[in-house]
Structure 1
Amino acid sequence: MTALHTTTTRTFAARTHGNESVVHDPLTGLTHRAGIALGSGRVRLSGTDVASWPEIHPAAVHAGVPISVCWSPLVRCNLACPYCLDDKSVLELGRAERSRIANLLAESAVLGVDISGGEPLLLRDLPELIDVLVAGDCAVSVTTNGTHLARRTEALATRVDAVRVSLDGPDAERHDRWRGAGSFDYAIAGIRAAIAQGIPTQIQTVLLRSTARASMRAMVDLAATLGVSGVTFLQMLPIGEGAGLADAEQLTDDDALALLTELSTTAAVPIRLRTREAAGGFTVVRSDGQIWRNQPGAHAISSLRPLHTAGDLTLTARDGSA
C-alpha cells in the first residue's frame, strides 16, 4: 500500500520468466511484473515506473529458485531487541564459509539478496560479500539497526543498492525503550550519512500492538523530514526470540491494514505494509549455512537443507513456491 513514489533512477534486478519480465526492488523487497521488456541482470530504472507496475507475490512467478532471499550471515548483534527473529543458538560460520555462501548465491538465479543478521555492519568482510553478490547480478540490500551505519557508509556507497534501517519509534524516548540508550541518535546519524552518500534508504519498523497507533504517523513524518525513500511497516513474526511477545504484541493483518489505510492518503513518503501472509514462504539463509523457509502465514520457520551448491536453492514441490 503506497502513498507516493520516488522518481529517482536506481538499481533493480530483472529476469525473464516465461513471456514476462519480473523486477526485484532491493529498497522495498517487492517483486513487480515489468511493464516493458527487460533483459536479465542488474538494471537502472525509474523508481516511479517500477512502483507503478503490478506487485506480485514471488510465488506467482513459479520460478525454479526464490526471487529473493534474506541472508543472515551472523547472529551477533550490538543490541537486544525483544522481538528479534534470530535464534541465538544457531551456529555462526566463519569468514571463509561466508565467502563460499556469497559465491553460491551469486551463481544462482536469485534476483535479490537482503543481508541481515544479527547486525551485518559488524562484519568486516561485508563489502567483499556485497561485491561478490553484485558481480553475480544480484540486487543487494542491507538491513541494519543503524548504529554503525555512519562510519560504514563510505564503503557501502559504491556497492550496496539499498539500505533498510530498523527503527522502533519516531524519537529517542520511544525507540530507546526497546533498543537501549543512545541507539536512536546513532541510527538517525546513520540514515543521514547514507542519504548524503546517495544510498537509497528506507525506514523499517515492526508493528507492535502497544505502540503502533501512537507512533505510526510520527514515524512517517520523521521519514519525510529525513528525506528517506519510504517506510515499510512490518508485521511482527512469532519467530526466534520474538515468539515470547507474540501473544501480547501481535496485530492481525486486518488490523494492520486498517492502520495503514488511515495513513495512506496523507503520508508524505511512500508507505507499505508487509503482512504475515506476505512473509509466508520466504527463503532465509541463516548463519549456519542452512536454507530455511517461513511457513505459510510466517508463524514458524523450518529448515530445509544445507547450502552446499547453488542447486540447493532450487525449489521443490515439497518446499513450496518461491
Structure 2
Amino acid sequence: MTRRRTATTRTFTARTHGSERVVHDPLTGLTHRAGIELVSGRVRLSDADVASWPEVHPAAVHVNEPISVCWSPLVRCNLACPHCLDDKAVSELARPDRHRIAHLLAESAILGVDISGGEPLLLRELPELIDVLVAGGCAVSVTTNGTHLVRRAEALASRVDAVRVSLDGPDAERHDHWRGTGSFERAIAGIRAAVAHGIPTQIQTVLLRSTARASVRPMTELAAALGAHGVTFLQMLPIGEGAALADAEQLTDDEATDLLAELSTTAAVPVRLRTREAAGGFTVIRADGQVWRNQPGSHAISSLRPLLGVNDLALTARDGSA
C-alpha cells in the first residue's frame, strides 16, 4: 500500500525475463512490472511512474536466480535489539571472503542487493563493497540503525542508491525502549544527514503489538518532517533473536493490514506494509557466507548451501523462490 508524493528521479534496475519487463526499487525493495520498454541494467526513472506500475512478487517472475537478496556481511552491531533477525551465533567471514561474495553477486543476474547486518556501517570497506556491486549493475541499498550515518553519509552519497533506517518509535521514549538510550537522537541525526546528502531515504519500523497502534501515524508524520521518501512497516518475523518475542508481539498479517488501511490514503508520505507472507521465500546471505531462505510464511529461515559460485544462488523447487 503506497501513496503518491512529489515525483523524483532516482536509480532502479531493470531486466527483461522472457516476455516480462521487471524493475527493482532499491528504496522499497519492491519489484514492479514495467509499463514501458527499458534497457537492462541500472536506469534513472521517475519514482512516481514506477510506483504506478503493478507490483509483482518475485516468485511470480520465472527466473533462475533471486530478483533481490539481503546480504548481511557481519553480525556485529553497536545495539542489542531484542527483535533482531540475526542469529549472533553465526560466524563472520574474513574481509577477503566478503569481497569474494560481492564479486559473485555482481556477476549474477540479481537486480538488487540490500546490505544489512548486524550494523553494516561498522564495516570500513563498505564503500568498496558497494562499488563492486554497482559496477556489476546491481541497485544497492543499505539498511542501518542510523547511529553511524552522520559520519558515513558523505561517502555513501556518491555510491549507494538508497538507505533504509530502522526506527522502533516516533520519539526517543518509544524507540530507545527497544534500542537503548540515545539511539533515537543519533538515528534522527543520521536520517537528516542522509537526506541532506541527497540519498533516497526510507524509514523502516517493525510492527510490534505493544506499540504499533500508537506509533504508526506519528511515524509517518516524523518521516515527512525529516524529508524521508516514505515508511515501510515490517511485520515482525519470528527469526533469529526475535523468535523469543514472537508470541507476545506478533500481529497477524490481517491485523497489520487493517491497522495501516487508513494510512494508505491519508499519510503525508508513501506507506508500505511488508507482510510475513510477502517475505516468504526471500533469499538472505548471512555473515557465514551461507545462502539462506525464508520459509513460506516467514515462520523460520533455512540454510541451504555455502555461496561458492553464482550457481549457488539458483532457485529450486525445494528452496522456494523470491
Please give the range of the TM-score, normalised by the shorter of the 2 chains: over 0.9
Off by >4 Å, runs of 4+ in structure 1? none
**Partner of 2:79 in structure 1?**
79
Cα displacement (A) at 1:160: 0.1
**Partner of 1:179 in structure 2?**
179
Mapping for residues 255-294 of structure 1, pairs under 5 Å: 255-294=255-294
Letter in 1 for 2:177: R
Q: What is the TM-score of this pair, normalised by structure 2?
A: 0.99
Alignment pair present for 1:222 and 2:213: no
Indicate conservation of the 8 Å contact 1:141/1:161, yes or no.
yes
Indicate conservation of the 8 Å contact 1:111/1:137, yes or no.
yes
| CA distance, structure 2, for counterparts of residue 185 and residue 4 of structure 1 | 29
Alignment pair present for 1:14 and 2:6: no
| CA distance, structure 1, for counterparts of residue 242 and residue 66 of structure 2 | 25
**Partner of 1:2 in structure 2?**
2
Give percent identity, aligned residues only: 82
| CA distance, structure 1, for counterparts of residue 305 and residue 275 of structure 2 | 26
Letter in 1 for 2:55: E
Cα displacement (A) at 1:321: 2.0
**Partner of 2:196 in structure 1?**
196
Letter in 1 for 2:147: T
Query: Any idea what the Cα deviations from partners look like across 1:129-185, whole Å, max 9, x if unmatched?
Result: 000000000000000000000100010000000000000000111100110111001
| CA distance, structure 1, for counterparts of residue 146 and residue 305 of structure 2 | 31
**Partner of 1:149 in structure 2?**
149
Letter in 1 for 2:162: A
Mapping for residues 293-308 of structure 1, pairs under 5 Å: 293-308=293-308
Cα displacement (A) at 1:109: 0.3
User: Secondary structure of 2:79's match?
Assistant: coil
Alignment pair present for 1:211 and 2:215: no
RMSD of the TM alignment (CA)?
Answer: 0.6
Cα displacement (A) at 1:262: 2.3
Cα displacement (A) at 1:30: 0.1
Cα displacement (A) at 1:317: 1.9
Letter in 2 for 1:318: R
Indicate conservation of the 8 Å contact 1:139/1:161, yes or no.
yes
Cα displacement (A) at 1:4: 2.2
Letter in 1 for 2:225: T
| CA distance, structure 2, for counterparts of residue 177 and residue 135 of structure 1 | 40
Letter in 2 for 1:151: R
| CA distance, structure 2, for counterparts of residue 317 and residue 40 of structure 1 | 27
**Partner of 2:58 in structure 1?**
58
**Partner of 1:102 in structure 2?**
102
Give unmatched runs, 5+ long, in structure 2: none
| CA distance, structure 1, for counterparts of residue 16 and residue 76 of structure 2 | 37
**Partner of 1:45 in structure 2?**
45
Q: What is the TM-score of this pair, normalised by structure 1?
A: 0.99
Cα displacement (A) at 1:309: 0.5
CA 1:6/1:305 → structure 2, altered by over 3 Å: closer, same or farther?
Answer: farther
| CA distance, structure 2, for counterparts of residue 39 and residue 20 of structure 1 | 13
Cα displacement (A) at 1:6: 4.3
User: Secondary structure of 1:110's match?
Assistant: coil
CA 1:216/1:58 → structure 2, altered by over 3 Å: closer, same or farther?
Answer: same
**Partner of 1:92 in structure 2?**
92
Letter in 2 for 1:276: R
| CA distance, structure 2, for counterparts of residue 320 and residue 193 of structure 1 | 39
| CA distance, structure 2, for counterparts of residue 274 and residue 38 of structure 1 | 27
**Partner of 1:236 in structure 2?**
236
User: Secondary structure of 2:266's match?
Assistant: coil
Cα displacement (A) at 1:3: 1.9
CA 1:63/1:187 → structure 2, altered by over 3 Å: closer, same or farther?
Answer: same
Letter in 2 for 1:298: S
Query: Any idea what the Cα deviations from partners look like across 1:31-67, whole Å, max 9, x if unmatched?
Result: 0000001111100000000000000000010111000
User: Secondary structure of 1:101's match?
Assistant: helix
Indicate conservation of the 8 Å contact 1:14/1:23, yes or no.
yes
Letter in 2 for 1:170: P
Give unmatched runs, 5+ long, in structure 1: none
